[in-house]
Amino acid sequence: MSSDKLSADWSAKKIVRPQSLTIILADHIRELIVNGEIELGALISENDIANKLSVSRTPVRAALQKLEMERLVQILPQRGTFVFEFNAQEMQQTCEMRQILETGALRVALQHDRKKLLAVLEHHLVLGQEALQHDPDNFRAADTAFHMALIESSQNRDLIDFYQTIINRIRAFLNRLARTSDELQGSQRDHETIVALLREGHDGEAQEKLHWHLGGLQRMFQEKYARQ
């Protein structure tokens, strides 16, 4: 192939630019779902969103397709777009995947830089304790940040990206869950125990404690939702 032919082929191809409006809309709708402003199972109207945000339906549709890839919504032909709902099986599968990802991330992060991992997690322990003492409503954010810091410490882009596909569904559930002060403090104590075990070099026990801690989401679902 000649250089002229190659140049012609390259120049004929269009550069696909980022759909920034689509990303902005996806971020906005995602937070509405996660924070509970749009209910689980609710029908989402493209027209309503487009009208309220003064945009066309095209980027709204693209944003919803992006959220479908994250399993936050389901697009059903001839029926519409619906926000996801948890059932017992999906909760179990989500918790199992989260356990696999976080315990794996912990193992990888320890291999990369134990001192840095401990410093990061200890920082988030402080933030969690401050939230409990001064603004318990913000503990959810501190809790999520602790686990996200653990994931990011793996420095594994594929692992981090895949974790993002489940964490927002987990946040959506937790933000709708009325957790008692004792439950919030129990979560913080679990974090402290995990870090203490790592500090003492008991990595296996720390992974076991993390695995059990993450299973608490399924236990809460069974106690507070499955019986309803």
Q: Where are the domains of the chain?
A: 17-83, 88-224
- pLDDT at res. 136: 84
Is residue 10 very low, low, confident or very high in pLDDT (cuts 50, 70, 90)? very low
Helix-, strand-, coil-residue percentages of the chain, each rounded to 5:
75, 5, 20
- Does 6 score more than 70 pLDDT? no
Question: Any idea which architecture 88-224 has in CATH?
Answer: Up-down Bundle (1.20)
Is residue 227 very low, low, confident or very high in pLDDT (cuts 50, 70, 90)? low
The two tokens of residue 24 are: 């902005």
Torsion-angle region of 59 (φ positive above 0: left; ψ -120 to 50: alpha; else: beta)? alpha
For residue 14, the Cα-to-chain-centroid distance in whole angstroms is 34
CB-CB contact of 163 with 151 (8 Å)? yes
Q: What is the pLDDT of residues 60-114, one digit of tens each?
A: 999 999 999 999 999 999 899 999 998 888 889 999 999 999 999 999 999 999 9
Mean pLDDT of the 177-206 span: 94
Question: Any idea which architecture 17-83 has in CATH?
Answer: Orthogonal Bundle (1.10)
Q: C-alpha distances in angstroms, 81 versus 18, 31, 49?
A: 24, 16, 12
